[in-house]
Amino acid sequence: MKFRFVLAIIAAKAAIIFLRMINYGGTSLPGKIALLIYPGILKELSSSFKVIAITGTNGKTTTSRVIAQMLKENGIGYIANKSGANLLNGITTTFIEAVNIKGTSNVSTALLEMDEAAFNKIIEHLEPHVTVVTNFFRDQLDRYGEVYSTLNSVLTGIRKTPGSALVLNADDSLCASLGKDSGNKVVYYGFSPSAWNSTENTLNNDAAFCLYCKAPYDYENRVYGHLGGFICRDCGYRHPGSTVTCTGIEELNANHSRVKLDLDGTTVDTVINLPAIYNIYNALAGCACGIAMGFSHDSIIKALSEFEPGFGRMEKIKKDDKSIRVILIKNPTGFNQVLDYILNENNDENKSFNIAFLINDNAADGRDISWLWDVNIEKLGKIYDKIITAYVSGTRGPDMAVRLKYADFDTKKIKHVEDYNRIINEALETTPGNGTFYILPTYTAMLDIRYILKNKFKLKEFWE
C-alpha cells in the first residue's frame, strides 16, 4: 500500500476531527489536504463505489435527499455529501470520512451532489453509474458566466462517461439536449401538458431560442421559466417525451404535494413530502433515477412521502404553535418559485406573516447581486397587507431594502437588522399563532443563520 495514500487519509481524517471540535464544518479543507498529499486519492477511493452524481443549477440537494430515501427503502448503504460541499475538495472529504486508513468501506454506493461548474473537473476523478441533471438557469454570472457555458461544461463531462445512464429534465430544452445523440442510456422526466400550464406572463431569459438554429421556441405548455413543452418550428428540435411524468396535481399545500405520476407506463397516486411546484421536479428527478437503477415502483413511491428535506431547503422548524421556513434563494428563477409558494400559502384573508431576506455577496453567493432586479418581487403586492415586517440583513441587506422599495413595499414595514438572533426573536414574537416566519437567505447567509437556529432549536448539524 502506498505510503502517501495512507498519509493523505490519516491527515484528512485528523483535520475532520479537529475542525468539528472547533465547530467548523470540516467538509472541504480535509479533502484539499488529501489531494495535496496524494493527487490520485479520489480516483482510487471512488473506484470501489457505484457513484450516483446529481448536478444542475437548482434542486441538487433535494433530489439527492429523495434518492437517498430510495436507497434506504432498497436496503442499500451509501455515503453522501449531505453538507452540500459539492466541489472537488468536498467530494474527496466525503470519501475519506467513509473509509478506513486502508481506503476501504463497508458500503459501496456513493450519492454525490456535484457543482455544475466543477462537474467536468470532478468527472476526471470518478465515473458515475448514473448522472442526474436537474436543470440549467442563470446563476452567479460572475462565476458561471452565461447558462450556455455551464451547459457546455456539463456536456464535456458527460462525454467522458459513456457508460453512465443519464437522467434528464425533458422540460428543459438545455438539459434535454444532453441526451441528443449521446449514446448513453437516457431516462427523461417532466410534466405532461395537462398537468400544469402556468398563466403567469414571465420573460424567458434563459433559453428563449433554439439551441441549434436560434429560432424562438413555441410552447405547448409552460411550467415556469423556460421549462415546459418546448418546440422549435424551424428545425424541429422539441421536447423528447418522458419516461417519468407528472400527469396531474391533486393538491398543493403548505407541507406537501399530492400528484399523479406515470412511471414508465404505470399510473400511481402519491404524496411528495415537500410543497411547491419546483419540488415536484426534484421528486420526478429522483423517481427517474430510481427507474434507471431498477428500483421497484413501491419503493420509489414510499420514498417520495418519507424523505427528509436538506438543511435550508424548505426546512421547517417548529416553535410552539408557530413555524419557521428556511428556503434558500440563489437566482431569479428559484427566488420567483419561492415567492409563488409564499403567495399560494398566504391567500387566506386571515393570514399574516413575517419574512426575512438575508442577502450576502460572498464568493459562494456570487459577488454580483444585480440578479435581485430580475426577480418579480412585485408579485408580493397581492399580499402586502399580510406582511407584518420584511426584515433585510446580510452584507447586501441595504440593496435588498432598495429592491423592496422599488417593488412598492411600504417602507415602514421594511426593517434593516444585522443581528440574526434579534431578527429571529422579534419575528417569532410578532408572528401570530399557527403562523409562519419565512427566512429567505443566500447560501452563506443560510449557513450563518442555520448555525444560530441549530443552537436555538437543537437541530442536526448541516453535514448530517
pLDDT in tens, 359-405: 999 988 888 899 999 999 999 988 999 999 999 999 999 999 999 99
- Interacting residues of 391 by C-beta distance below 8 A, sequence separation 6+: 354, 355, 356, 357, 415, 416, 417, 423, 426, 427
Residue type, 258: R
pLDDT digits (tens, 9 = 90+) for 140-158: 655 555 788 899 999 999 9
**Which residue from 360, 273, 277 is spatially nearest to 309, judged by alpha carbons?**
273
Q: Looking at residue 147, what is its pLDDT?
A: 87
DSSP element (H, E) containing 331: none
- Interacting residues of 294 by C-beta distance below 8 A, sequence separation 6+: none
Q: How far apart are CA 281 and CA 286, in angstroms?
A: 9
Q: How far apart are CA 243 and CA 287, in angstroms?
A: 10
CA distances from 230 to 143, 189, 217, 219, 233 (A): 28, 14, 6, 4, 10
- Interacting residues of 441 by C-beta distance below 8 A, sequence separation 6+: 312, 326, 328, 329, 356, 357, 358, 359, 360, 394, 448, 449
443 phi, psi to nearest 5 deg: -60, -55
**Which residue from 208, 202, 180, 175 is spatially nearest to 57, judged by alpha carbons?**
175
**Do 137 and 375 form a contact (C-beta atoms < 8 A)?**
no
**Do 49 and 116 form a contact (C-beta atoms < 8 A)?**
no
441 phi, psi to nearest 5 deg: -105, 155
pLDDT tier for residue 201 given thresholds of 50, 70 and 90:
low
Q: Domains of the chain, with CATH numbers? A: 49-82+106-306 (3.40.1190.10), 313-457 (3.90.190.20)
**Do 390 and 284 form a contact (C-beta atoms < 8 A)?**
no
Residue type, 37: I
Q: Looking at residue 310, what is its pLDDT?
A: 83
Q: Which three cell numbers stand for residue 377?
A: 418581487
Q: How far apart are CA 165 and CA 182, in angstroms?
A: 10
Give the residue carrying C-alpha cell 409564499: 342
pLDDT tier for residue 464 given thresholds of 50, 70 and 90:
low
pLDDT digits (tens, 9 = 90+) for 162-196: 999 999 999 999 999 999 988 899 999 999 999 98
Q: Looking at residue 181, what is its pLDDT?
A: 86
Q: What pTM, to 2 d.p., does this model score?
A: 0.91
Q: Which three cell numbers stand for residue 156?
A: 464535456
Q: Which three cell numbers stand for residue 298?
A: 413501491
Q: Looking at residue 145, what is its pLDDT?
A: 59
pLDDT reading at 250 higher than 70: yes
CA distances from 198 to 171, 191, 219, 262, 443 (A): 13, 12, 11, 21, 28
Q: Looking at residue 146, what is its pLDDT?
A: 76
At CA 409, angle to CA 406 and CA 412, rounded to 5?
120
Mean per-residue pLDDT, 19-44: 92
Q: Looking at residue 38, what is its pLDDT?
A: 96
Q: What is the DSSP letter of 38?
A: -
**pLDDT, averaged across the chain:** 92
**Do 433 and 351 form a contact (C-beta atoms < 8 A)?**
no
Return the beta strands (E) in 40-87 as ranges: 50-55, 79-80
Q: What is the DSSP letter of 182?
A: -
Q: How far apart are CA 260 and CA 265, in angstroms?
A: 12
CA distances from 427 to 14, 79, 143, 380, 448 (A): 41, 37, 34, 19, 17
pLDDT digits (tens, 9 = 90+) for 329-370: 998 989 999 999 999 888 776 689 999 999 999 988 888 899
Q: Looking at residue 312, what is its pLDDT?
A: 83
Measured N-to-C along each axis, helices 3-21 and 29-37 cross at an angle, to the nearest 10 degrees, of 160
Q: Looking at residue 202, what is its pLDDT?
A: 60
Mean per-residue pLDDT, 214-237: 95
